[in-house]
Structure 1
Amino acid sequence: MTGIARMSRALAAVAAGLLAASALAPTAQAAPEPKAPGEFVDLRAVDPTIITEMRYATAHTFMGVRVDGYRQPVCLLTRPAARALHTAQRRLLRQGYSLKVYDCYRPQRAVDHFVRWAKDLDDQAMKGEFYPLVDKSRLFEDGYIAEKSGHSRGSTVDLTLVRLPAAPTRPYVPGENLAPCFAPEGERFPDNSLDMGTGYDCFDTLSHTDDPRVRGVQRANRQFLKKTLTDLGFVNLAEEWWHFTYRPETFPDTYFDFPVARRSVGGR
Protein backbone atom coordinates (compact mmCIF):
# COMPACT_ATOMS: atom_id res chain seq x y z
CA MET A 1 0.00 0.00 0.00
CA THR A 2 1.42 3.36 -0.97
CA GLY A 3 1.89 6.17 1.54
CA ILE A 4 -0.85 8.18 -0.15
CA ALA A 5 -3.29 5.29 0.11
CA ARG A 6 -2.49 4.75 3.79
CA MET A 7 -3.06 8.48 4.47
CA SER A 8 -6.38 8.41 2.62
CA ARG A 9 -7.58 5.44 4.67
CA ALA A 10 -6.53 7.14 7.93
CA LEU A 11 -8.37 10.34 7.02
CA ALA A 12 -11.48 8.34 6.10
CA ALA A 13 -11.37 6.56 9.48
CA VAL A 14 -11.11 9.87 11.33
CA ALA A 15 -14.03 11.31 9.38
CA ALA A 16 -16.14 8.21 10.09
CA GLY A 17 -15.33 8.49 13.80
CA LEU A 18 -16.36 12.13 13.90
CA LEU A 19 -19.65 11.31 12.17
CA ALA A 20 -20.39 8.52 14.63
CA ALA A 21 -19.62 10.75 17.60
CA SER A 22 -21.88 13.50 16.30
CA ALA A 23 -24.69 11.00 15.80
CA LEU A 24 -24.42 9.84 19.41
CA ALA A 25 -24.12 13.33 20.90
CA PRO A 26 -27.44 14.77 22.23
CA THR A 27 -28.89 17.65 20.25
CA ALA A 28 -28.58 20.92 22.12
CA GLN A 29 -32.11 22.06 22.99
CA ALA A 30 -33.67 24.61 25.27
CA ALA A 31 -34.81 23.23 28.60
CA PRO A 32 -38.50 22.26 28.47
CA GLU A 33 -40.96 24.55 30.19
CA PRO A 34 -42.09 23.34 33.61
CA LYS A 35 -45.61 21.95 33.81
CA ALA A 36 -48.21 22.34 36.52
CA PRO A 37 -48.76 19.53 39.01
CA GLY A 38 -51.85 17.43 38.43
CA GLU A 39 -53.72 19.34 41.12
CA PHE A 40 -53.97 22.38 38.81
CA VAL A 41 -56.82 22.90 36.36
CA ASP A 42 -58.00 25.42 33.80
CA LEU A 43 -60.96 27.16 35.46
CA ARG A 44 -63.04 26.99 32.29
CA ALA A 45 -62.89 23.17 32.49
CA VAL A 46 -64.57 23.39 35.89
CA ASP A 47 -66.95 26.27 35.15
CA PRO A 48 -67.05 27.80 31.65
CA THR A 49 -69.65 30.38 32.73
CA ILE A 50 -67.21 32.40 34.87
CA ILE A 51 -66.08 35.48 32.96
CA THR A 52 -62.33 35.84 32.46
CA GLU A 53 -60.49 39.08 31.85
CA MET A 54 -56.89 38.11 32.47
CA ARG A 55 -55.37 41.56 32.72
CA TYR A 56 -51.74 40.49 32.91
CA ALA A 57 -51.99 38.87 29.48
CA THR A 58 -52.66 42.38 28.11
CA ALA A 59 -50.97 45.77 28.22
CA HIS A 60 -53.61 47.14 30.60
CA THR A 61 -51.47 46.63 33.69
CA PHE A 62 -49.79 48.95 36.17
CA MET A 63 -46.62 48.43 34.10
CA GLY A 64 -48.27 49.18 30.76
CA VAL A 65 -47.01 45.94 29.18
CA ARG A 66 -47.97 42.28 29.08
CA VAL A 67 -46.46 40.48 32.06
CA ASP A 68 -43.77 37.82 31.72
CA GLY A 69 -45.13 34.29 31.86
CA TYR A 70 -48.65 35.04 30.67
CA ARG A 71 -48.72 33.14 27.37
CA GLN A 72 -52.50 32.90 27.10
CA PRO A 73 -55.45 34.59 28.87
CA VAL A 74 -56.43 31.53 30.91
CA CYS A 75 -57.19 31.13 34.62
CA LEU A 76 -55.21 28.29 36.20
CA LEU A 77 -55.98 27.30 39.79
CA THR A 78 -55.70 24.38 42.15
CA ARG A 79 -58.71 22.12 41.79
CA PRO A 80 -60.24 22.84 45.25
CA ALA A 81 -60.11 26.60 44.61
CA ALA A 82 -61.68 26.19 41.16
CA ARG A 83 -64.45 23.98 42.54
CA ALA A 84 -65.21 26.52 45.27
CA LEU A 85 -65.52 29.24 42.61
CA HIS A 86 -67.86 26.96 40.69
CA THR A 87 -70.09 26.67 43.76
CA ALA A 88 -70.03 30.44 44.22
CA GLN A 89 -70.90 30.95 40.56
CA ARG A 90 -73.92 28.63 40.76
CA ARG A 91 -75.26 30.68 43.67
CA LEU A 92 -74.58 33.98 41.91
CA LEU A 93 -76.18 32.97 38.63
CA ARG A 94 -79.45 32.34 40.45
CA GLN A 95 -79.28 35.95 41.66
CA GLY A 96 -78.44 37.44 38.28
CA TYR A 97 -74.68 37.86 38.73
CA SER A 98 -71.44 36.30 37.55
CA LEU A 99 -67.90 36.17 38.85
CA LYS A 100 -65.21 37.76 36.69
CA VAL A 101 -61.57 36.83 37.27
CA TYR A 102 -58.71 39.24 36.64
CA ASP A 103 -55.83 37.03 37.76
CA CYS A 104 -55.42 33.50 39.09
CA TYR A 105 -52.19 31.51 39.32
CA ARG A 106 -49.22 33.83 38.75
CA PRO A 107 -45.78 32.43 37.86
CA GLN A 108 -42.73 33.54 39.81
CA ARG A 109 -41.26 35.00 36.62
CA ALA A 110 -44.20 37.44 36.55
CA VAL A 111 -43.50 38.49 40.13
CA ASP A 112 -39.84 38.99 39.18
CA HIS A 113 -41.04 41.22 36.34
CA PHE A 114 -43.00 43.32 38.84
CA VAL A 115 -39.90 43.68 41.01
CA ARG A 116 -37.69 44.80 38.12
CA TRP A 117 -40.31 47.34 37.07
CA ALA A 118 -40.71 48.69 40.60
CA LYS A 119 -36.97 49.31 40.87
CA ASP A 120 -36.98 51.34 37.64
CA LEU A 121 -38.16 54.67 39.03
CA ASP A 122 -38.05 56.30 35.60
CA ASP A 123 -40.82 54.08 34.22
CA GLN A 124 -44.04 55.69 35.40
CA ALA A 125 -46.11 55.39 32.23
CA MET A 126 -49.21 54.09 34.06
CA LYS A 127 -48.97 56.17 37.21
CA GLY A 128 -51.97 58.30 36.22
CA GLU A 129 -54.30 55.31 36.49
CA PHE A 130 -52.88 52.79 38.92
CA TYR A 131 -50.89 54.75 41.54
CA PRO A 132 -51.65 58.47 41.17
CA LEU A 133 -51.00 59.34 44.82
CA VAL A 134 -48.23 56.86 45.63
CA ASP A 135 -44.56 57.64 45.09
CA LYS A 136 -43.12 54.75 43.08
CA SER A 137 -40.09 54.61 45.37
CA ARG A 138 -42.46 53.47 48.16
CA LEU A 139 -44.13 50.55 46.37
CA PHE A 140 -42.09 47.96 48.29
CA GLU A 141 -42.30 49.75 51.63
CA ASP A 142 -46.05 50.25 51.33
CA GLY A 143 -46.61 46.61 50.40
CA TYR A 144 -47.90 47.05 46.84
CA ILE A 145 -45.00 45.04 45.35
CA ALA A 146 -43.24 42.07 46.97
CA GLU A 147 -40.70 39.47 45.86
CA LYS A 148 -43.15 36.61 46.48
CA SER A 149 -46.88 36.34 45.83
CA GLY A 150 -49.51 33.98 47.19
CA HIS A 151 -50.83 33.80 43.62
CA SER A 152 -47.81 31.66 42.73
CA ARG A 153 -49.09 28.92 45.06
CA GLY A 154 -52.19 28.47 42.91
CA SER A 155 -55.09 29.00 45.33
CA THR A 156 -55.36 32.80 45.16
CA VAL A 157 -57.56 34.69 42.73
CA ASP A 158 -58.33 38.34 41.92
CA LEU A 159 -61.94 38.81 40.92
CA THR A 160 -65.09 40.91 40.93
CA LEU A 161 -68.83 40.65 40.24
CA VAL A 162 -70.72 41.41 37.04
CA ARG A 163 -74.46 41.92 36.72
CA LEU A 164 -76.00 39.77 33.98
CA PRO A 165 -76.39 40.07 31.11
CA ALA A 166 -72.77 41.23 31.01
CA ALA A 167 -72.24 44.46 29.13
CA PRO A 168 -69.34 44.50 26.64
CA THR A 169 -66.15 46.27 27.65
CA ARG A 170 -63.83 48.05 25.29
CA PRO A 171 -60.14 47.10 25.10
CA TYR A 172 -57.45 49.32 26.56
CA VAL A 173 -55.57 51.33 23.93
CA PRO A 174 -51.89 51.81 24.80
CA GLY A 175 -51.10 55.50 25.11
CA GLU A 176 -54.67 56.58 25.80
CA ASN A 177 -55.39 59.24 28.41
CA LEU A 178 -55.47 57.77 31.90
CA ALA A 179 -57.98 58.44 34.66
CA PRO A 180 -57.26 57.67 38.34
CA CYS A 181 -58.39 54.21 39.41
CA PHE A 182 -60.34 55.76 42.28
CA ALA A 183 -62.20 58.29 40.12
CA PRO A 184 -66.02 58.04 39.97
CA GLU A 185 -67.22 55.03 38.04
CA GLY A 186 -68.14 57.04 34.94
CA GLU A 187 -64.68 58.62 34.76
CA ARG A 188 -62.24 55.77 35.41
CA PHE A 189 -61.44 53.06 32.85
CA PRO A 190 -64.73 51.36 31.94
CA ASP A 191 -65.38 47.95 33.41
CA ASN A 192 -68.55 45.89 33.25
CA SER A 193 -68.26 44.93 36.92
CA LEU A 194 -70.30 46.24 39.82
CA ASP A 195 -69.00 49.54 41.17
CA MET A 196 -66.50 48.62 43.89
CA GLY A 197 -65.25 52.15 44.46
CA THR A 198 -61.93 51.63 42.66
CA GLY A 199 -60.71 49.77 39.63
CA TYR A 200 -58.69 46.58 39.80
CA ASP A 201 -55.06 46.84 40.94
CA CYS A 202 -55.58 50.32 42.34
CA PHE A 203 -52.54 51.16 44.48
CA ASP A 204 -54.37 53.25 47.04
CA THR A 205 -55.79 52.80 50.54
CA LEU A 206 -59.27 53.19 49.05
CA SER A 207 -58.75 49.63 47.79
CA HIS A 208 -58.80 48.35 51.37
CA THR A 209 -61.92 46.21 51.56
CA ASP A 210 -63.37 47.95 54.61
CA ASP A 211 -62.03 51.47 54.08
CA PRO A 212 -64.60 53.68 55.86
CA ARG A 213 -64.59 56.24 53.03
CA VAL A 214 -66.19 53.65 50.73
CA ARG A 215 -69.90 53.78 51.48
CA GLY A 216 -73.34 53.10 50.08
CA VAL A 217 -73.67 50.89 47.02
CA GLN A 218 -69.90 50.54 46.59
CA ARG A 219 -69.50 49.20 50.14
CA ALA A 220 -72.50 46.91 49.72
CA ASN A 221 -71.02 45.48 46.51
CA ARG A 222 -67.72 44.73 48.23
CA GLN A 223 -69.47 43.04 51.13
CA PHE A 224 -71.62 41.00 48.73
CA LEU A 225 -68.49 39.72 46.99
CA LYS A 226 -66.71 39.08 50.27
CA LYS A 227 -69.58 37.20 51.91
CA THR A 228 -70.22 35.08 48.83
CA LEU A 229 -66.63 33.86 48.83
CA THR A 230 -65.87 33.68 52.55
CA ASP A 231 -68.91 31.45 53.00
CA LEU A 232 -67.12 28.93 50.77
CA GLY A 233 -63.69 28.97 52.38
CA PHE A 234 -61.97 31.97 50.78
CA VAL A 235 -60.10 34.54 52.87
CA ASN A 236 -59.98 38.14 51.70
CA LEU A 237 -56.79 40.22 51.81
CA ALA A 238 -57.84 43.30 53.77
CA GLU A 239 -55.77 45.65 51.58
CA GLU A 240 -57.36 44.54 48.28
CA TRP A 241 -61.11 44.09 47.86
CA TRP A 242 -60.51 41.83 44.81
CA HIS A 243 -57.98 39.41 46.38
CA PHE A 244 -59.10 36.04 47.85
CA THR A 245 -57.26 32.87 48.86
CA TYR A 246 -58.92 29.49 49.23
CA ARG A 247 -58.00 27.74 52.46
CA PRO A 248 -56.55 25.30 53.22
CA GLU A 249 -54.14 25.85 50.35
CA THR A 250 -53.13 22.80 48.34
CA PHE A 251 -49.55 24.11 48.12
CA PRO A 252 -49.05 26.42 51.12
CA ASP A 253 -45.26 26.60 50.80
CA THR A 254 -44.54 26.22 47.07
CA TYR A 255 -44.10 29.06 44.58
CA PHE A 256 -44.46 27.72 41.04
CA ASP A 257 -43.03 29.12 37.81
CA PHE A 258 -44.74 27.25 34.98
CA PRO A 259 -46.21 29.65 32.36
CA VAL A 260 -49.87 30.64 32.21
CA ALA A 261 -50.93 28.59 29.20
CA ARG A 262 -53.41 25.82 28.44
CA ARG A 263 -50.60 23.37 27.76
CA SER A 264 -49.28 23.82 31.31
CA VAL A 265 -52.15 21.72 32.69
CA GLY A 266 -53.78 18.44 31.79
CA GLY A 267 -50.79 17.00 29.92
CA ARG A 268 -51.37 19.19 26.86
Structure 2
Amino acid sequence: MTRLSSAVRGLVTAFAALLAVTAATVPARAATEPQAPPDFVALRTVDATIMQEMRYLTPHNFVGKRIDGYLQPLCILTRPAAEALHEAQQKLLREGYTLKVYDCYRPQRAVDHFVRWAKDLDDQAMKGEFYPNVDKTRLFEDGYIAERSGHSRGSTMDLTLVKLPAKPTRPYAPGEPLVPCYAPKGQRFPDNSVDMGTGYDCFDTLSHTVDPRIQCEQRANRLRLKSTLEGLGFVNLAEEWWHYTYKPETFPDTYFDFPVSAKSLADSD
Protein backbone atom coordinates (compact mmCIF):
# COMPACT_ATOMS: atom_id res chain seq x y z
CA MET A 1 0.00 0.00 0.00
CA THR A 2 2.87 2.32 0.72
CA ARG A 3 4.31 1.80 -2.73
CA LEU A 4 0.89 2.31 -4.35
CA SER A 5 0.29 5.50 -2.37
CA SER A 6 3.66 6.82 -3.44
CA ALA A 7 2.84 6.08 -7.06
CA VAL A 8 -0.52 7.81 -6.74
CA ARG A 9 1.08 10.83 -5.14
CA GLY A 10 3.59 10.92 -7.98
CA LEU A 11 0.83 10.86 -10.57
CA VAL A 12 -1.06 13.61 -8.77
CA THR A 13 2.07 15.76 -8.60
CA ALA A 14 2.82 15.21 -12.28
CA PHE A 15 -0.78 16.02 -13.24
CA ALA A 16 -0.70 19.22 -11.16
CA ALA A 17 2.53 20.25 -12.85
CA LEU A 18 0.96 19.61 -16.26
CA LEU A 19 -2.03 21.76 -15.33
CA ALA A 20 0.30 24.56 -14.21
CA VAL A 21 2.20 24.49 -17.49
CA THR A 22 -1.04 24.44 -19.49
CA ALA A 23 -2.46 27.35 -17.50
CA ALA A 24 0.73 29.31 -18.03
CA THR A 25 0.46 28.94 -21.80
CA VAL A 26 -3.15 30.15 -22.04
CA PRO A 27 -2.41 33.85 -21.42
CA ALA A 28 0.31 33.74 -24.06
CA ARG A 29 -2.19 32.55 -26.67
CA ALA A 30 -4.81 35.03 -25.48
CA ALA A 31 -2.29 37.87 -25.65
CA THR A 32 -2.18 37.91 -29.47
CA GLU A 33 -2.84 41.41 -30.76
CA PRO A 34 -6.31 42.33 -32.05
CA GLN A 35 -6.71 42.89 -35.79
CA ALA A 36 -8.40 45.75 -37.60
CA PRO A 37 -11.67 45.05 -39.39
CA PRO A 38 -11.41 44.94 -43.22
CA ASP A 39 -12.90 48.46 -43.33
CA PHE A 40 -9.51 49.88 -42.25
CA VAL A 41 -6.72 50.66 -44.72
CA ALA A 42 -3.27 52.19 -44.75
CA LEU A 43 -3.64 55.70 -46.18
CA ARG A 44 -0.60 55.18 -48.42
CA THR A 45 -2.51 52.45 -50.33
CA VAL A 46 -5.22 54.99 -51.19
CA ASP A 47 -3.02 58.06 -51.69
CA ALA A 48 0.77 57.78 -51.52
CA THR A 49 1.24 61.52 -52.14
CA ILE A 50 -0.08 62.65 -48.75
CA MET A 51 2.84 63.29 -46.42
CA GLN A 52 2.99 61.43 -43.12
CA GLU A 53 4.79 62.68 -40.01
CA MET A 54 3.45 60.37 -37.34
CA ARG A 55 4.35 62.26 -34.20
CA TYR A 56 3.33 59.70 -31.58
CA LEU A 57 5.88 57.20 -32.84
CA THR A 58 8.54 59.77 -31.92
CA PRO A 59 9.44 61.58 -28.68
CA HIS A 60 8.39 64.91 -30.21
CA ASN A 61 4.98 65.12 -28.56
CA PHE A 62 3.54 66.47 -25.32
CA VAL A 63 4.48 63.29 -23.43
CA GLY A 64 8.06 63.29 -24.69
CA LYS A 65 8.13 59.55 -25.43
CA ARG A 66 6.90 57.14 -28.08
CA ILE A 67 3.26 56.47 -27.27
CA ASP A 68 1.95 52.98 -26.53
CA GLY A 69 0.49 51.20 -29.54
CA TYR A 70 2.49 53.00 -32.22
CA LEU A 71 4.75 50.40 -33.85
CA GLN A 72 5.23 51.89 -37.32
CA PRO A 73 5.03 55.37 -38.91
CA LEU A 74 1.73 54.54 -40.54
CA CYS A 75 -1.54 56.42 -41.02
CA ILE A 76 -4.45 54.00 -40.73
CA LEU A 77 -8.03 55.12 -41.45
CA THR A 78 -11.38 53.68 -42.37
CA ARG A 79 -11.58 53.38 -46.15
CA PRO A 80 -14.27 56.07 -46.63
CA ALA A 81 -12.19 58.57 -44.64
CA ALA A 82 -9.05 57.71 -46.60
CA GLU A 83 -10.85 58.05 -49.94
CA ALA A 84 -12.32 61.42 -48.96
CA LEU A 85 -8.85 62.57 -47.91
CA HIS A 86 -7.60 61.49 -51.35
CA GLU A 87 -10.21 63.76 -52.95
CA ALA A 88 -9.04 66.66 -50.81
CA GLN A 89 -5.45 65.97 -51.77
CA GLN A 90 -6.27 66.04 -55.48
CA LYS A 91 -7.82 69.49 -55.09
CA LEU A 92 -4.94 70.83 -53.00
CA LEU A 93 -2.25 69.51 -55.36
CA ARG A 94 -3.77 71.60 -58.14
CA GLU A 95 -3.41 74.63 -55.86
CA GLY A 96 0.24 73.92 -55.05
CA TYR A 97 -0.23 72.28 -51.63
CA THR A 98 -0.12 68.83 -50.08
CA LEU A 99 -1.74 67.46 -46.97
CA LYS A 100 0.45 66.17 -44.14
CA VAL A 101 -0.99 63.94 -41.42
CA TYR A 102 0.37 63.90 -37.87
CA ASP A 103 -1.98 61.27 -36.45
CA CYS A 104 -4.82 59.09 -37.76
CA TYR A 105 -6.29 56.01 -36.10
CA ARG A 106 -5.17 55.97 -32.44
CA PRO A 107 -5.43 52.77 -30.37
CA GLN A 108 -7.16 52.92 -26.99
CA ARG A 109 -3.89 51.94 -25.31
CA ALA A 110 -2.38 55.20 -26.61
CA VAL A 111 -5.26 57.17 -25.10
CA ASP A 112 -4.68 55.29 -21.83
CA HIS A 113 -1.01 56.35 -22.03
CA PHE A 114 -2.10 59.99 -22.34
CA VAL A 115 -4.34 59.61 -19.30
CA ARG A 116 -1.57 58.09 -17.16
CA TRP A 117 0.77 60.87 -18.21
CA ALA A 118 -1.79 63.58 -17.42
CA LYS A 119 -2.27 62.20 -13.91
CA ASP A 120 1.49 62.22 -13.25
CA LEU A 121 1.85 65.86 -12.24
CA ASP A 122 5.60 65.48 -11.72
CA ASP A 123 6.20 64.74 -15.40
CA GLN A 124 6.25 68.11 -17.12
CA ALA A 125 9.24 67.54 -19.39
CA MET A 126 7.53 68.94 -22.51
CA LYS A 127 5.57 71.76 -20.88
CA GLY A 128 7.82 74.46 -22.36
CA GLU A 129 6.69 73.63 -25.89
CA PHE A 130 3.23 72.07 -25.77
CA TYR A 131 1.41 73.59 -22.78
CA PRO A 132 3.44 76.54 -21.43
CA ASN A 133 0.37 78.46 -20.23
CA VAL A 134 -1.72 75.53 -18.97
CA ASP A 135 -1.46 74.08 -15.47
CA LYS A 136 -1.22 70.32 -15.83
CA THR A 137 -3.88 69.86 -13.13
CA ARG A 138 -6.42 71.32 -15.59
CA LEU A 139 -5.74 69.09 -18.62
CA PHE A 140 -8.88 67.00 -18.06
CA GLU A 141 -11.09 69.89 -16.99
CA ASP A 142 -10.06 72.03 -19.96
CA GLY A 143 -10.63 69.18 -22.40
CA TYR A 144 -7.07 68.64 -23.57
CA ILE A 145 -7.01 65.03 -22.33
CA ALA A 146 -9.94 62.58 -22.16
CA GLU A 147 -10.37 58.87 -21.51
CA ARG A 148 -11.83 58.31 -24.98
CA SER A 149 -10.85 59.74 -28.35
CA GLY A 150 -12.66 59.85 -31.67
CA HIS A 151 -9.33 58.86 -33.24
CA SER A 152 -9.88 55.33 -31.89
CA ARG A 153 -12.96 54.98 -34.10
CA GLY A 154 -10.82 55.31 -37.23
CA SER A 155 -12.32 58.27 -39.12
CA THR A 156 -10.51 61.11 -37.35
CA MET A 157 -7.14 62.56 -38.27
CA ASP A 158 -4.81 65.40 -37.33
CA LEU A 159 -3.33 67.17 -40.34
CA THR A 160 -1.96 70.34 -41.88
CA LEU A 161 -0.96 71.89 -45.20
CA VAL A 162 2.50 71.98 -46.77
CA LYS A 163 3.38 74.32 -49.63
CA LEU A 164 4.99 72.54 -52.57
CA PRO A 165 7.76 71.80 -53.16
CA ALA A 166 7.98 70.47 -49.60
CA LYS A 167 11.13 71.32 -47.68
CA PRO A 168 12.82 68.67 -45.51
CA THR A 169 12.52 68.92 -41.73
CA ARG A 170 15.04 67.87 -39.13
CA PRO A 171 14.18 65.33 -36.42
CA TYR A 172 13.61 66.40 -32.82
CA ALA A 173 16.54 65.73 -30.49
CA PRO A 174 15.34 64.74 -26.98
CA GLY A 175 16.56 67.23 -24.43
CA GLU A 176 16.95 70.14 -26.83
CA PRO A 177 15.69 73.56 -25.63
CA LEU A 178 11.93 73.92 -25.97
CA VAL A 179 10.18 76.90 -27.53
CA PRO A 180 6.47 77.64 -26.93
CA CYS A 181 4.20 76.18 -29.61
CA TYR A 182 2.60 79.59 -30.17
CA ALA A 183 5.91 81.41 -30.79
CA PRO A 184 6.46 82.94 -34.25
CA LYS A 185 7.01 80.25 -36.87
CA GLY A 186 10.68 81.09 -37.28
CA GLN A 187 11.29 80.52 -33.57
CA ARG A 188 9.26 77.42 -32.70
CA PHE A 189 10.32 73.89 -33.64
CA PRO A 190 10.77 73.77 -37.43
CA ASP A 191 7.94 72.23 -39.44
CA ASN A 192 7.63 72.34 -43.21
CA SER A 193 3.91 73.10 -42.95
CA VAL A 194 2.46 76.50 -43.74
CA ASP A 195 2.13 78.88 -40.80
CA MET A 196 -1.02 78.00 -38.88
CA GLY A 197 -0.28 80.33 -35.97
CA THR A 198 0.68 77.51 -33.58
CA GLY A 199 2.42 74.19 -33.84
CA TYR A 200 0.61 70.86 -33.78
CA ASP A 201 -0.84 69.72 -30.44
CA CYS A 202 -0.48 73.16 -28.93
CA PHE A 203 -2.53 73.18 -25.71
CA ASP A 204 -3.64 76.80 -25.93
CA THR A 205 -6.74 78.73 -26.93
CA LEU A 206 -4.74 80.10 -29.87
CA SER A 207 -5.24 76.66 -31.39
CA HIS A 208 -8.99 77.26 -31.69
CA THR A 209 -9.60 77.21 -35.42
CA VAL A 210 -11.19 80.66 -35.71
CA ASP A 211 -9.61 82.35 -32.69
CA PRO A 212 -9.88 86.09 -33.48
CA ARG A 213 -6.22 86.68 -32.60
CA ILE A 214 -5.20 84.55 -35.59
CA GLN A 215 -5.26 86.82 -38.61
CA CYS A 216 -3.78 87.43 -42.08
CA GLU A 217 -1.82 84.56 -43.64
CA GLN A 218 -2.22 82.28 -40.63
CA ARG A 219 -6.00 82.61 -40.70
CA ALA A 220 -6.08 82.15 -44.47
CA ASN A 221 -4.10 78.91 -44.13
CA ARG A 222 -6.48 77.53 -41.50
CA LEU A 223 -9.51 78.45 -43.58
CA ARG A 224 -8.02 76.91 -46.74
CA LEU A 225 -7.66 73.60 -44.89
CA LYS A 226 -11.10 73.95 -43.31
CA SER A 227 -13.00 74.83 -46.46
CA THR A 228 -11.32 72.10 -48.49
CA LEU A 229 -12.08 69.36 -45.98
CA GLU A 230 -15.55 70.52 -44.97
CA GLY A 231 -16.55 70.55 -48.63
CA LEU A 232 -15.90 66.79 -48.70
CA GLY A 233 -17.72 65.75 -45.54
CA PHE A 234 -15.16 66.40 -42.82
CA VAL A 235 -16.05 68.15 -39.56
CA ASN A 236 -13.52 70.25 -37.67
CA LEU A 237 -13.11 70.24 -33.89
CA ALA A 238 -13.38 73.93 -33.13
CA GLU A 239 -10.72 73.80 -30.40
CA GLU A 240 -8.03 72.29 -32.65
CA TRP A 241 -7.29 73.64 -36.13
CA TRP A 242 -5.65 70.31 -37.08
CA HIS A 243 -8.44 67.91 -35.99
CA TYR A 244 -10.99 66.61 -38.52
CA THR A 245 -13.48 63.73 -38.58
CA TYR A 246 -15.05 62.27 -41.70
CA LYS A 247 -18.84 61.91 -41.41
CA PRO A 248 -20.75 59.67 -41.31
CA GLU A 249 -18.29 57.57 -39.35
CA THR A 250 -17.97 53.91 -40.28
CA PHE A 251 -17.74 52.99 -36.58
CA PRO A 252 -19.48 55.76 -34.62
CA ASP A 253 -19.60 53.85 -31.33
CA THR A 254 -16.56 51.53 -31.38
CA TYR A 255 -13.16 52.31 -29.87
CA PHE A 256 -10.51 50.00 -31.28
CA ASP A 257 -7.21 48.94 -29.72
CA PHE A 258 -5.25 47.19 -32.46
CA PRO A 259 -1.67 48.51 -32.82
CA VAL A 260 -0.62 51.01 -35.47
CA SER A 261 1.17 48.47 -37.64
CA ALA A 262 0.84 47.00 -41.11
CA LYS A 263 0.35 43.60 -39.44
CA SER A 264 -2.91 44.87 -37.93
CA LEU A 265 -4.50 45.26 -41.36
CA ALA A 266 -6.38 42.58 -43.25
CA ASP A 267 -4.46 43.35 -46.46
CA SER A 268 -1.02 43.27 -44.79
CA ASP A 269 -0.08 40.05 -46.54
Alignment TM-score > 0.5, same fold: yes
Partner Cα separation in structure 1 for residue 55 and residue 220 of structure 2: 25
Question: Which residue matches 1:139?
Answer: 139
Deviation at 1:28, TM superposition (A): 4.0
AA of the residue aligned to 2:210: D
Partner Cα separation in structure 2 for residue 32 and residue 172 of structure 1: 33
2:196 equivalent to 1:193: no
Percent of aligned positions that are identical: 73
Deviation at 1:195, TM superposition (A): 0.3
| 3-state SS of paired residue (1:92) | helix
- For 1:2-151, what aligned pairs fall within 5 Å after superposition? 27-28=25-26, 30=28, 31-151=31-151
Deviation at 1:165, TM superposition (A): 1.1
Partner Cα separation in structure 1 for residue 100 and residue 61 of structure 2: 17
Partner Cα separation in structure 1 for residue 227 and residue 22 of structure 2: 60
Preserved contact between residue 51 and residue 99 of structure 2 (Cα < 8 Å) = yes
AA of the residue aligned to 2:217: V
Preserved contact between residue 35 and residue 266 of structure 2 (Cα < 8 Å) = no
Specify every segment of 5 or more residues in structure 2 that has no aligned partner in the other structure, as ranges. Answer: none
User: For 1:223-250, what per-residue CA distance to the aligned partner results, in whole angstroms no more than 9, with x for missing partners?
Assistant: 0000010000000000000000000000
CA RMSD of aligned residues (A): 2.5
User: For 1:82-119, what per-residue CA distance to the aligned partner results, in whole angstroms no more than 9, with x for missing partners?
Assistant: 00000111111111110000000001111111011001
Deviation at 1:266, TM superposition (A): 2.1
| 3-state SS of paired residue (1:102) | strand
Question: Which residue matches 2:179?
Answer: 179
Question: Which residue matches 1:205?
Answer: 205
Partner Cα separation in structure 2 for residue 108 and residue 28 of structure 1: 24
CA pair 29-119 structure 1, distance change in 2 beyond 3 A = closer
Partner Cα separation in structure 2 for residue 123 and residue 153 of structure 1: 28
Partner Cα separation in structure 2 for residue 60 and residue 66 of structure 1: 8
AA of the residue aligned to 2:125: A
Aligned residues: 265
Deviation at 1:76, TM superposition (A): 0.5
Preserved contact between residue 104 and residue 151 of structure 2 (Cα < 8 Å) = yes
User: For 1:8-54, what per-residue CA distance to the aligned partner results, in whole angstroms no more than 9, with x for missing partners?
Assistant: xx79x959x96xx78x9584452210011110000001001100000
Partner Cα separation in structure 2 for residue 115 and residue 141 of structure 1: 12
Q: Could you say which structure has the larger radius of gyration?
A: 1
Partner Cα separation in structure 2 for residue 173 and residue 41 of structure 1: 31
Partner Cα separation in structure 2 for residue 267 and residue 221 of structure 1: 36
Partner Cα separation in structure 2 for residue 204 and residue 234 of structure 1: 23
AA of the residue aligned to 1:132: P
| 3-state SS of paired residue (1:181) | coil
Partner Cα separation in structure 2 for residue 121 and residue 115 of structure 1: 11
